[in-house]
Amino acid sequence: MHYLEPLFNPESVAIVGASHHEGKIGHTVVKNILESGYKGRIYPINPKGGEILGLKVYKSIFEIDDEIDVAIIVVPAKVAVEIIDDVAKKAKFIIVITSGFSEVGNIEGEKKIVETAKKYGSRVLGPNVFGIYSAKPPINATFGPSKIKAGNVAVVSQSGALGIAMIGKAAEENMGLSAIVSIGNKADLTEVEILSYLFEDEITKVVFLYIEGLENGRDFLDIIRKRPPGKSIIVLKAGRSKAGARAVASHTGSLAGSDAIFDAAFRQVGILRAESLEDGLNWVTTVALSPPPKGKNVVIVTNGGGLGVIAADACEKYGLHLLDDMEVLKKTFQDVMPEFGSYKNPVDITGQAGGKEYKVALERAFKEKSIHAILALYCDRGDAEIEEIKNALVEVHKKYRNKPALYTIFGGEGATSIITALKKEGLPAFSDVEDAVSSLYALYKVNERKDEGKMEEVKMDEDKIKQVIEKALKEKRRKLLSNEAKEILKAAGVDVPEFYVAKNIEEAIEAANKIGYPIVMKVISEDIIHKTDVGGVVLNIENEKEAAEAYEAIIESCKRNVPKARIRGVEVTKMLPKGVETIVGSTTDPSFGKVVMFGLGGIYVEVMKDVTFRVAPLPKKEIRRMIREIESYPILAGVRGEKGKDIEAIVDTIYRIGLLVTKFEEIMELDINPLIVYEKGAKVADARMSIKVRK
C-alpha cells in the first residue's frame, strides 16, 4: 500500500474550524464531504460545540476517541499556527486550506506548521489549498463545487482557483475525475509524491498537472520515468517568459531561460506539455476516453471534402501518418460512396451521403485491422438528420471501442447539439478539426515510452580535474583561466589540441616549435574577457619570428588596454583548420541542476539562438536526439553535396561534459566555444569555465 493511501482514501476526517455558518469555507467543506457520499467517520471541530449539518461537533481534537487519517484546517492563519501542535499529535495527514503563509511572506508560520507536523510524523498538504477530492472513498474535501463525477482523470494543480475552475470545466466536458489535488505552497508534500501515488492508483489513467515551477526537478523526472505502463501525464507549465536577469558568466547560462530548460527536460523524459488550458483539457479528455492506438495508420472519414483536406494538413503538421494503402482503402470504402466520392485518405463519402452511409463507412473503419485510429468529420447539413447522425455515431462507437475515434462536427446549432450529445456519451468530440488532430497527436505521444538509452563507462583523469579545481578554489577564483578550463576538458577525455602556457618569448617560441606552425597565441588573464578586443589574440602565426613578435604584441597591447589586468602568460596552441563551429556548454539550473547545451556557433547561436538543452548526465542515444533537434542540423549532416560532419565526435564531447559537470558539482558553468567539428573529429578551440567558490 502506498504511504499516501490514507490521504486519498481516509477512514476518518476531522475538520478543524468546521463552521456553523452556511457560506463559510469551514461549513462548505463539511457539506461537500457529506454530499459526496463519504462513508468514513467525520469529526467537525469547533470550540463552540453543538451540531453542524446533523453531525456532532467536538470542542477539541482530543475529545475524539479515534485515529484521524486526515485533518483539514480551516481556521485563520494565526489560529492554525496555535493549534498545529494538537492537530499533528492526532492526525496522519493535515490539509491546510488556510491562506496567509509564505505566499504573503509569512515564512515563519509555514515553517512552524511543517516542522511541528514533522515532529509527530504527520505530513502536510498546503498551506493555501482548496482541499482534496478522491473518487475512491469517495470524498470531496474541498470548498469547490459539491458535485464531482468520478472517472479516471487526476488533476493536480498548484493554482487553487484554477483547480476549482477545473472541477466545473470537467463537469461541463463530462470528464470524470479520479482525484483532484491542490498543492498550493508545497511546503511539505509536492507534486512528486502526489504523482508517485497517482501513478500507482488503479483508477487513475491520466494526470493533468498544472505547475508554475519545480524545486526538485530531478525527482520529478525520475517519477515520470518510472511511471507504470498505461499511466499518462500531460503538463501545463505556466511561465514561458524568460527567467529574469541572472548573473551568468557563460553563453550557455545566458541562453538558458528557465523555460527552455523545462521544455528540454520534459522532452527528455517524454512529457507532453500543453501550450494552453484548452489544449490540455482536450488532450486529457481524449486520453481518458480512448484506448491506445495499436499502430500508426490514421484514417479520415468525412462528408465534406474541405474539412477532410484541413484535417489532412493538420495531420501532416502533427506528424500523424495517414493510411496510404490504396488496396485496403478501396476494398474498405469504395462501395459506401457515390461514384464521385473518394476512397483515398481522406475518405470523402461526399455531402450527398446521408446518416446511413456515414454509419456504414465508420463501421468499416472500425472493422478494418490496418486502420489504427479514426478521425471522423461531419459537416452539419442543416437538415433533419441530426438525431440520426448522433445516434449512429454513438451506436457504432460504443459497439466497437477497439481503436481511438475522434469526432469533429462542424456547423451551426445542429453541430453543437451533436457535440454535446457525443460528449455526454463519452465520445471525444470537437467543433474544430485542428483540436481533434492535436488531441490524436497527444494520444499517440502519451502512449510512447521514451528510451533515453544507457550510460557507458568512460575514463577521466579525476585527480587532475580535482587538482585544477582545488587550485582555483584556494585562490578564491570563480572563473578558471582558459588553460585551466582546457586542462580539465583534456582530463575529461575531450579532444583539446596540444597547448602550452608561455611566460616569456623563449617559452613561446619553444612551444610553437613543438606544436608546429601555424599556431595561435592568446593572452591568459582572469581580468580579460574579450581577448580579441584588447589585442590579446594573434592568429595564423607561421614561424619563429612571427611567434616572437606576437608574444610581445599581446603583452604590450593588453598592458596598455587593461593596465590593471593580471597577465598570467600566453597560451600557445595549434591554429585549427576551418570546420563547422559549434558550441557545447553546461550551466546550473535552479530546478534541474546541471544541464548541457548544444548549438551551432556564430550567428546560429548569437542571432537565432538555435540551441538545445538536456538535463545532465545523459546517454548517447538521447544526445543524438538532442543534436538532431536544432534547426541548423542539416549543416552538420551535410548539405549540397558537402560531406556530413563527425556527429559522433560531438556526441562523445557532450557525453563527457554531462558526466564531468555531474561528477564535479563545483563546475557551475562551462562553454566550449567553439568546438570545431570536422569530417573526422571535433576539437576544442576555446573554453571557459566557472566554479562555485567555497564560503
Residues that bind ligand ACO (CB under 6 A): 16-17, 19-21, 24-26, 45-48, 74-76, 79, 83, 97-100, 128-130, 160-161, 164, 182
Q: Which DSSP helix (H) or strand (E) runs through 232?
A: strand 232-237
Alpha-carbon distance of 519 to 546, in angstroms, equals 10
Residue 151 CB, nearest distance to ligand ACO (Å)? 22
Q: How far is the CB of 79 from ligand ACO (least distance, A)?
A: 5
Query: How near is the Cβ of 171 to ligand ACO at its closest, in Å?
Result: 17
Task: Return the number of the residue (48 or 367) whose C-beta is nearest ligand ACO.
Answer: 48
Residues contacting residue 243 through CB under 8 Å, at least 6 positions apart = 256, 257, 258, 259
Of the two residues 24 and 559, which places its CB atom closer to ligand ACO in the complex?
24
Q: How far is the CB of 191 from ligand ACO (least distance, A)?
A: 16
Min dist. Cβ of residue 75 to ligand ACO (A): 5
Shortest CB 209 distance to ligand ACO, Å: 16
CB of 32 to ligand ACO, least distance (A): 14
With residues binned 3-state (H G I as helix, E B as strand, rest as coil), the percentages for the chain, rounded to 5, are 40, 20, 35
Nearer Cβ to ligand ACO (87/234)? 87
Nearest approach in angstroms of CB 170 to ligand ACO is 16
Of the pair 186, 656, the CB lying nearest ligand ACO is at 186
Q: Which is nearer to ligand ACO, 83 or 687 (CB)?
A: 83
Q: What is the DSSP letter of 503?
A: S
Q: Which is nearer to ligand ACO, 25 or 309 (CB)?
A: 25
* Radius of gyration in angstroms for the set of CA atoms belonging to the chain, rounded to a whole number: 32
Beta carbons of 477 and 526 less than 8 angstroms apart: yes
Among 686, 656, 687, residue whose Cα is nearest residue 670? 687
CB 656 within 8 Å of CB 491: no
- Give dist(CA 298, CA 371) in Å, integer: 6
State the Cα–Cα distance between residues 446 and 230, nearest whole angstrom. 9
Give the closest residue to 16 by CA, choosing from 45, 37, 51.
45
Residue 541 neighbours by CB distance under 10 Å: 22
C-alpha span between 587 and 3 (Å, rounded)? 36
Q: 16 vs 558, which CB is nearer to ligand ACO?
A: 16
Alpha-carbon gap, residue 548 to 38, rounded angstroms: 87
Q: Are 77 and 109 in contact (CB under 8 A)?
A: yes
**Of 79 and 553, which has the nearer Cβ to ligand ACO?**
79
Residue nearest to ligand ACO (CB): 160
Closest contact distance (angstroms) between CB of 82 and ligand ACO is 7
Q: What SS3 string covers 285-342? A: HHHHHCCCCCCCEEEEEECCHHHHHHHHHHHHHHCCEECCCHHHHHHHHHHHCCCCCE
Q: What is the DSSP string of 3-52?
A: TTHHHHS-SEEEEET--SSTTSHHHHHHHHHHHTT--SEEEEE-TT-SEE
- Residue (166 or 651) nearer to ligand ACO, CB: 166
At closest approach, how far in Å is the CB of 19 from ligand ACO?
3
In the numeric block, the cell 563527457 is attached to 656
* Cis before 346 (ω within 30): yes
**By C-beta, is 129 or 667 nearer to ligand ACO?**
129
- Taking the complex as a whole, the smallest distance from the CB of residue 525 to ligand ACO amounts, in Å, to 54
Least distance CB 86 / ligand ACO (angstroms): 9
Q: Which is nearer to ligand ACO, 16 or 154 (CB)?
A: 16
- Decide whether 189 or 554 has the Cβ nearer to ligand ACO: 189
Q: What is the distance between the alpha carbons of residues 487 and 462, in angstroms, rounded to a whole number?
A: 11
Measured CA distances, 492 to 326, 499, 599, 653, 661 (Å): 55, 16, 21, 9, 10
Name all contacts of 480-485 with Cβ < 8 Å and 24+ positions apart: 480/688, 480/689, 480/690, 480/691, 481/524, 481/525, 481/526, 481/568, 482/522, 482/524, 482/571, 482/686, 482/687, 482/688, 483/524, 483/571, 484/689, 485/670, 485/687, 485/688, 485/689
User: Minimum distance from CB of 152 to ligand ACO (Å)?
Assistant: 24
Which of 134, 182 has the CB closer to ligand ACO? Answer: 182
Show the cell assigned to 530: 574579450
Query: How many C-beta atoms lie closer than 10 Å to residue 338's C-beta?
Result: 12
